[in-house]
Amino acid sequence: MTMFKDSFWGFDGFEELRKFIKQGNEFSKEVSILLQERSEAETLYAKSLSKIATKLLKACGTGVGSLTDGWKAVAVAMEQEAELHKNLAAGLLDEISKPLKGFVETQIKARKPLEALVERSYKNLTDRRAEEFKCKKHSYSCCRDYEKAEISLVDAKAGKSKDTGKGEKKSKQTLALLKKADKEYTEACYKAESSRQDWDMTVARASTSMQEIEEERLKSMQDYLNKYNSHISVLSPKLTQYFDRLNEAVLTVDLQHDLQIIVQQKGVKGPRQPEQILLDCYAEDSQISLDVERRKDALKNYLIHLHQFIEKERKGKEGVQKLVEVYRNKPSFADAETQEDTKQKLEQTTFMLNFLEASHYKINSNLCQLEGKSPPPSIFSQYIETVRDKQNMLSSTLKLPLNLALEGNKDYMDCHAPNDYYQDINSPEDEFIDEEFPSPTVIGNCKAIYDFDATRPDELTIKRGDIICIYEKLRDGWWEGEANGIRGIFPSTYVEEC
């Protein structure tokens, strides 16, 4: 079955779909108005009827498909019906024009919230992108300040200045600011990608709803077309030859074929391909003046942060995959909508892993080059495009084909052993990584409705009837809590809140 969400994706795709749906509503509204005029024109016979036929042909001008062809046939029949009976007017007005007008108004009310939802989601995405660029620019600025402070300190220690204490203090301050800026930029990139995926999913869901609205409109228009045909069919036998032509056009209406024509003529050309803007750090930019060792350290810091996000997302993906498997084996556990949402969630976590792993691969490749190592082979290498933007900053985009994007890179590995630099993650001198974690706060309680056996060290085994203290509701469908003195994570679908 033809699906709008697979053909009307992205900003341009949804905008084209919105315009087309609006044109369809306007067309239906125009048909309603014209049939009312047709009813009034019955007393004017041929002259008035000819004018309406012309207007109807004009209204059909922007339409496509066999359904539009059917309405064009109606206009031709109108042109030939110079001697219509006055009793036709009541049927046209009460059974087609008025109901169609109300139907159009109902469809407009259903369409507006969908457009508003997509607009809000897109505004949130643009705001996130703006924040991402702001953090990126700030990160570059902090890098320059730190490098300048380090050079000044080296000069001071070489004997050019006796006051090195002030230089060391400034160096530490600028380093702290740099690390903070690096972390903020990484988080901004993560949030921007999350917003992009939320917007992408919002567009997909809105497109699906738009398709349902359009299919309903097409079905209703077909019904009204059939009603019109029925009214016309009772007229004088001398007009039978004209009505037969109209009937042929009505019978050839193929709604599925019309949907295919809409996709071919109005849809985005080419297969759906997500474009993910990757993390680009200053240390990758060869035009940025930076000491080699400090460049390596900066790259390693970014790899540490990305590694943390990757581990988090992988764990989340495993949880979602478990839910998908549960629903596959026991469909009665959830309704169709919940199962579809879970599948969409799996796609979303896969895309997020692609974003994180591709960013990690790109930065890791730069680090390998600095260390004289060969970067590991990766599926990402041929699908990453890097250019410079208007601010002369690096901008990398991952353009994986949809089949590869959905499959993910299960075997991704970098060319460094984790101990090469991950061991520094808890270093007391690394203010960029070291954070204080407060004691967990109970935000609620829940009761287990199914048994769940932990398969990982961080998971919590629960039995039906267990009361669990909830500490945090994670975004991947898992919750963190404590039961029987043991703390861990568990799937939220296995419990109900008390």
For residue 386, the cross-strand partners are 396
Which residues constitute the domain of residue 484?
444-497
- End of a domain among 391, 411, 431? 411
Whether residue 256 lies inside any domain: the answer is yes
CATH of the domain at 465: 2.30.30.40
CA 310 to mean position of chain CA atoms: 20
Answer yes or no: are the C-beta atoms of 420 and 302 closer than 8 Å: no
- Asked whether residue 43 falls in the same domain as residue 99, the answer is yes
Per-position pLDDT tens, the chain of length 498:
567 888 888 888 888 898 999 999 999 999 999 999 888 877 777 788 888 888 888 898 878 888 888 888 888 888 877 667 677 888 889 999 999 999 999 999 999 999 999 999 999 999 999 999 999 999 999 999 999 988 888 877 777 555 678 888 888 999 999 999 999 999 999 999 999 999 999 999 999 999 999 999 999 999 999 999 888 777 777 777 777 888 888 888 888 888 888 888 877 776 777 889 999 999 999 898 888 899 999 999 999 999 999 988 888 888 888 888 888 888 877 788 888 888 888 888 899 999 999 999 999 999 999 998 888 888 888 999 999 989 899 999 999 888 888 887 766 655 444 445 544 444 434 443 344 345 578 899 999 998 898 888 788 999 998 999 999 888 778 899 998 888 899 989 899 998
Task: Walk across the sheet containing 486-491 and list its strands.
Answer: 486-491, 478-483, 467-473, 444-448, 495-497
Asked whether residue 325 is domain-assigned, the answer is yes
Neighbouring residues of 366: CB distance < 8 A, sequence distance ≥ 6: 283, 284, 299
Within-domain flag for 472 = yes
Q: Residues 119, 23: one domain? A: yes
Q: Do 115 and 32 reside in the same domain of the chain? A: yes
**How far is the CA of 275 from the CAs of 90, 278, 351, 386, in angstroms?**
56, 9, 10, 13
Regarding whether 261 and 203 lie in a shared domain, the answer is yes
Same domain, 14 and 63: yes
Closest CA to 84 of 44, 35, 33, 34: 44
Q: Which residues contact 163 (CB under 8 A, 6 or more apart)?
A: 156
Same domain, 262 and 281: no
In a domain, 174, yes or no: no
Q: Does a structural domain hold residue 437?
A: no
SS (H, E, C) the chain: CCCHHHCCCHHHHHHHHHHHHHHHHHHHHHHHHHHHHHHHHHHHHHHHHHHHHHHHHHHHHHCCCHHHHHHHHHHHHHHHCCCCCCHHHHHHHHHHHHHHHHHHHHHHHHHHHHHHHHHHHHHHHHHHHHHHHHHHHHHHHHHHHHHHHHHHHHHHHHHHCCCCHHHHHHHHHHHHHHHHHHHHHHHHHHHHHHHHHHHHHHHHHHHHHHHHHHHHHHHHHHHHHHHHHHHHHCCCHHHHHHHHHHHHHHHCCCHHHHHHHHHHHHCCCCCCCCCEECCCCHHHCCCCCCCHHHHHHHHHHHHHHHHHHHHHHHHHHHHHHHHHHHHHHCHHHCCHHHHHHHHHHHHHHHHHHHHHHHHHHHHHHHHHHHCCCCCCCCCCHHHEEEEECCCCCEEEEECCCHHHHHHCCCCCCCCCCHHHCHHHHHCCCCCCCCCCCCCCCCCEEEEECCCECCCCCCECCECCCCEEEEEEECCCCEEEEEECCEEEEEEHHHEEEC
Q: Are residues 337 and 401 in the same domain?
A: yes
486 and 385 within one domain: no
Question: 335 and 222 in one domain?
Answer: no
Q: Which residue has the tokens 């002369």?
A: 392
Q: Which of 266, 294, 309 is the last residue of a domain?
A: 266
Q: Judge residue 1's burial from the number of C-beta atoms within 10 Å of its C-beta, 0-12 exposed, 13-18 middle, 19 or more buried.
A: exposed
The total of structural domains in the chain comes to: 3
Instruction: Tell which of 266, 288, 317 closes a domain.
Output: 266
Residue 390 lies in a domain: yes
Is residue 111 located within the same domain as residue 204?
yes
Strands 478-483 and 467-473 turn out to be antiparallel
478 within some domain: yes
- Measure the CA–CA gap between 49 and 79, rounded to whole angstroms: 7
Chain-centre distance for alpha carbon 11 = 10
Same domain membership, residue 472 and residue 358: no
d(CA 98, CA 103): 9
Q: Is 90 within the bounds of a domain?
A: yes
Please tell me whether residues 389 and 472 are part of one structural domain. Answer: no
- Residue 63: both structure tokens together: 């339409």
